[in-house]
Amino acid sequence: MSATLQNLARDLAFLRQAVDRTARMPPAIYFLWAVIVGVGGVVVEQRTWAVWYWLGASVVGLLASAYLGWRHGVRMGAVSRERGVRAVLHWGGIVAAVFAATALVWRGQLAVEAVSGVALLLVSLGYYLMGVHEDRWSYVPAVLALGAAVSVTMIPGSWAVAGVACAAGLALMGVLEWTRERRRHV
Amino acid sequence: MSEVAGLSDLDRLLEHRTRLGICVLLSRNDAMTFRLLRDLLDETDGNLGANLSKLEEAGYVVARKEYEDRKPVTWYSLGARGRQQVRAHLAALAALVREAQQEPR
């Protein structure tokens, strides 16, 4: 009986690994957000149109990520509407929260200097929750975004550096994911 | 000898690791290609094909052929019967594991 159970446990562990491998973030999405965040970091220094950049980039980035996720699924050979909807709801919720924080600035209830830090905290929370529920590698961008939030709050004018550091982290994640995919298919 | 809980609810067709793997993976995705199933389950074309045929014959799995860049690609998805059987089989396995953990050492 115990030998049978050991085999069963081994089989189930193998299956869990296989299932986990179908639920990974496409590398293209990491690269896309590396560009958005990197450019955004520099743009924030030019205050006047930074808000417009971020509002536009977050919506376009969300829609582009949904498309890239779907295309990646078809190319890799696994499509899941449920997973796609869940990802859009997850990140859509974060973008909606960032919009709400921006609205507080317009209403004078949040200082304009604070909104960037709040947005980064929300993004960090988004990645952290993804790490909890989906892919533990998401803790890496969660820590990066948290670090950026702290740095832009504590050190004035550190946006460009924080943006480039986050972009580099996201690009690194993209490269790691891409390498992992290639190794699987070689 | 009393019957172990969950044992009678196990599905014979799903006792095979590859077939269980196919069904579990398909239960987490709307559709998957033959190639990805083969890679994830670390199987040969022949072995995977034979097991998929058995699942198709039993009405657990549905196949759909498409062409991508003029190459044929076969997509598999879990049918209603397959979904029901996988759920029952996994519940039976869970009951079996629970029962075994309660056994005196």
| pLDDT > 90: percent of chain A | 16
User: Is position A36 within any domain?
Assistant: yes
Q: For position A1, what pLDDT does the model report?
A: 53
Number of domains making up chain A: 1
Residue A171 has pLDDT above 50, yes or no: yes
CATH code (residue B84): 1.10.10.10
Residue B95 has pLDDT above 60, yes or no: yes
Chain A positions in Cβ-Cβ contact with residue B96 (cut-off 8 Å): 5, 8
The A residues from 83 to 122 touching B (CB cutoff 8 Å) are: 83
User: Is position B1 within any domain?
Assistant: no
Between chains, do B73 and A78 touch, taking CB under 8 Å as contact? no
Determine the Cα angle at B38 with ends A71 and A132, to 5°: 60
Number of domains making up chain B: 1
CA distance B21 to B52: 11
- CB of B17 within 8 Å of a chain A CB? The answer is yes
Query: What are the structure tokens assigned to A66, written together?
Result: 């949904």
Between chains, do B21 and A15 touch, taking CB under 8 Å as contact? yes
Q: Which SS3 state, helix, strand or coil, does residue A72 take?
A: helix
CA distance A42 to A39: 5
Chain A positions in Cβ-Cβ contact with residue B21 (cut-off 8 Å): 11, 14-15, 18
Query: What is the extent of the structural domain holding A130?
Result: 25-185
| Nearest by CB: B24 against A9, A19, A79 | A19
- Report how far apart the first and last C-alpha atoms of chain B are (Å, whole number): 18
Query: For B19-75, what is each residue's pLDDT tens digit?
Result: 999 999 999 899 999 999 998 898 999 999 999 999 999 999 999 998 888 888 999
Query: What is the extent of the structural domain holding B69?
Result: 7-100
User: Is position A152 within any domain?
Assistant: yes
Between chains, do A79 and B31 touch, taking CB under 8 Å as contact? yes
User: Is position B105 within any domain?
Assistant: no
| Residues with Cβ within 8 Å of residue A3, at least 6 apart in sequence | none
The helices-and-strands tally (H runs, E runs) of chain A is: 7, 1
pTM tops 0.80, yes or no:
no
For residues A53-60, give the mean pLDDT. Answer: 87
User: Is position A68 within any domain?
Assistant: yes
Residue A28 has pLDDT above 90, yes or no: yes
Out of A64-73, A93-102, A158-167, B63-72, pick the least confident.
A158-167
- Report how far apart the first and last C-alpha atoms of chain A are (Å, whole number): 39
Query: What are the structure tokens assigned to B92, written together?
Result: 């039976």
